[in-house]
Amino acid sequence: DPTTYVNGDPLTNFTIEIYRDGANVASVASGTETYSDGGLTDGQMYQYTVYAKDSNDSLSSGVDVSAYAGGSPVPAAPENLSGSATTTEAQLSWSDPSTQSDGTPL
């Protein structure tokens, strides 16, 4: 993480701006590296964009992430699919998914 501007001035006077679905939901002080966003709807997907904003109100490029509140409502695909066939029958086998599509527990 840089500690100075290109001109050598210390990079200490900035905030982190947090947007959810295009609306600013929080500003946190420099040095803060986590944020918890409450009051979400279970199963709803949210898009977050995080920016750094300096004392001149200049915004950095945004960094995006999407997340489902409570985890994705969609299960992951079955795994380890295999199959064999005879002249009159196909036999398939697989492992059931153990997580949702985003890795959260079923």
pLDDT digits (tens, 9 = 90+) for 44-92: 999 999 999 988 899 999 999 999 898 888 899 999 999 999 999 999 9
Contact call for residues 16 and 52 (beta carbons, < 8 A): yes
The CATH homologous superfamily for domain 14-68 is Immunoglobulins (2.60.40.10)
State the number of CA atoms in the 13 A half-sphere of 12 facing the CB.
3
What contacts 1, CB < 8 A, 6 or more positions away? Answer: none
- Rounded to whole angstroms, the maximal C-alpha distance in the chain is 77
State the number of CA atoms in the 13 A half-sphere of 70 facing the CB.
8
Cite the residue boundaries of each domain of the chain with CATH code 2.60.40.10. Answer: 14-68
pLDDT for 102: 86
Amino acid sitting at position 75: P
Contact call for residues 51 and 84 (beta carbons, < 8 A): no
Q: What percent of the chain has pLDDT over 70?
A: 95
pLDDT for 72: 86
DSSP 13: S
